[in-house]
Amino acid sequence: MPPPAVSFMLVRLQKLLADAGIASRRASEKLILNGRVRVNGAVVAVLGTKVDPDHDRVEADGALIKQRKKLYIALHKPRGFVCSMSDPEGRRLVGDLLPKEWNNLKPVGRLDFKSEGLIFLTNDGDFALRLTHPRYGVTKHYRVTLPVAVDQEMVYRLTDGIFSDGERLKAERARILKSGQKGAILDLVLREGKNREIRRMFEAQGIFVERLIRTQIGSIKLGELPEGRWRTLTEAEIKSLIQPTRE
């Protein structure tokens, strides 16, 4: 008889319930503690219990839990859209550009209202954490259009760090693509992505950013994806983002 299948994708029971849309993580914990969850027919009332989503049968209140399909979307955000699930000002949301049945997808990180370019949306919380937490250092590339000419001294300031409201903001790399009397275009690479970081770096120097486009996240480029359109990420692309090679 062959050995039983082994899975390396064990997850905490309360996370599996939450990911399946049964309840929030906190509410899922209460379901478990109240003895309302069974794994392979046996009641499990211990928090932190790990299960195999591919092979274990999980039930809550007698109903079989089916894993919600995980989706990974790359979207070309247009200017004038908010990267949020709702907006008190009634502005357009990036989710409005996706099919209505994908209303459970959340933006991975942010692009401010006036900015454009590549953003991911997903229902996979672990994937989102990998791309947004500073400790993973996933790079983001931006093309910045300015109304003034810049020189190499500006590049040095951006990569050395500029202080704004007591916070040090810096680019991992900076490169001048074009500079002249009519203005300049720069390519900036960031790792942390603090709130409005690029705009604040230039505002601290008295410079207004005319246009800001995110052109790449990790190894994934915006490419020819039209404004306002989306595509699904391939398995190879997802893997490259979760297990990136250091640039």
Over the stretch 47-60, which tens digit does the pLDDT of each residue have? 989 998 878 899 99
Expressed as residue numbers, the domain containing 231 is 72-135+220-242
Total structural domains in the chain? 3
pTM for this predicted structure = 0.78
Residue 31 included in any domain: yes
State the CATH number of the domain containing residue 226. Answer: 3.30.70.580
Same domain, 46 and 146: no
- What does the H/E/C string look like for the chain? CCCCCCCCCCEEHHHHHHHCCCCCHHHHHHHHHCCCEEECCEECCCCCCEECCCCCCEEECCEECCCCCCCEEEEEECCCCECCCCCCCCCCEHHHHCCHHHCCCEEECCCCCCCEEEEEEECCHHHHHHHHCHHHCCCEEEEEEECCCCCHHHHHHHHHCEEECCEEECCCEEEEEEEECCEEEEEEEECCCCCCHHHHHHHCCCCCCCEEEEEEECCEECCCCCCCCEEECCHHHHHHHHCCCCC
Shared-domain flag, residues 130 and 225: yes
Residues 83 and 204 in one domain: no
Residue 5 forms part of a structural domain: no
| pLDDT tens readout for residues 58-74 | 999 999 988 778 899 99
Residues with a known catalytic role? 112
Shared-domain flag, residues 178 and 204: yes
207, 230: one domain: no
CATH of the domain at 52: 3.10.290.10
Q: Could you tell me if 146 and 98 lie in one domain?
A: no
pLDDT at residue 125, as a whole number: 82
pLDDT digits (tens, 9 = 90+) for 173-211: 999 999 999 999 999 999 987 889 999 999 999 999 999
Q: State whether 35 and 56 are in the same domain.
A: yes
What is the band of 9 on the pLDDT scale with cuts at 50, 70, 90?
A: low
Q: Specify if 2 maps to a domain.
A: no
Pair (37, 152) in one structural domain: no
- Average pLDDT, rounded, for the chain: 89
Mind listing the pLDDT tens digit for each residue in 33-44? 999 999 999 999
Instruction: Give the per-residue pLDDT at 5.
Output: 38
**Does some domain include residue 3?**
no
Torsion sign over Cα 88, 89, 95, 100:
positive
Give yes or no: residues 213 and 224 share one domain. no
- Domain assignment present for residue 127? The answer is yes
Looking at the structure, tell me whether residues 46 and 165 fall in a common domain. Answer: no
Q: Based on the domain organization, do 89 and 55 belong to the same domain?
A: no
**Residue 4: per-residue pLDDT:** 38
Q: Note whether residue 157 is domain-resident.
A: yes
Are 115 and 145 in a shared domain? no
